[in-house]
Amino acid sequence: MTSLIRWNPRPDMLRSRVSHLFDDAFNEFVAPLAGREETRTGAWMPAVDIRETADGLIFHAELPGMTKDDIELTLENNVLTLKGERKFERDEERESYHRIERGYGTFTRTFALPSNVRTDDVKASFENGMLTVELPKVEEAKPRRVQIV
């Protein structure tokens, strides 16, 4: 006999899945009418990992197929904003596409930063489609060892 596992999704997760279903259905219907059979603009959002270390925050954003000139990174009022566009490059001499699964279009990601990071000493690097942004913590926020006497 197999045991049953009860699935209890989070409400926001269920809402997100339903929203994606409606968005996908809408885009498949509207894109051909607008002459955009090959792409669904705005459907792509780069994945971002945020890691905290003792010294600061490190952001890793996957931006495959892009160059550093395709990316705009701004920092204002403790908000880090990542903008860009991955363009669909169509080769007219090739056969028509049967399937397009990679996402294209513009994107904007914003991240509210905690007050314990130094926004005046940000380092950003881009290599092999991976953007790395390092934000150091202020000295008071770094953990320090207290000696017991």
Distances (CA, A) of 100 to 4, 21, 72, 129, 131: 38, 18, 26, 20, 25
Closest CA to 64 of 133, 129, 132, 131: 129
DSSP state of 137: B
Residue 1 has pLDDT above 80, yes or no: no
CA 65 to chain centroid: 14
**pLDDT at res. 117:** 92
Residue 65 has pLDDT above 80, yes or no: yes
More confident residue, 15 or 148: 148
Residue 140's pLDDT band (boundaries 50, 70, 90)? confident
**pLDDT at res. 96:** 73
Residue 116 has pLDDT above 60, yes or no: yes
DSSP state of 134: E
**pLDDT at res. 143:** 77
Please write the tens of the pLDDT for every residue from 4-46. Answer: 555 555 555 555 666 666 666 555 544 444 444 444 444 678 9
CA 43 to chain centroid: 12
Is residue 1 classed exposed, middle or buried when 0-12, 13-18 and 19+ CB atoms within 10 A define those classes? exposed
Residue range 90-106: average pLDDT? Answer: 73
Is the domain defined by 40-140 classed in CATH 2.60.40.790? Answer: yes
Q: Which residues pair with 75 in a beta bridge?
A: 80
What does the domain layout of the chain look like in residue ranges? Answer: 9-38, 40-140
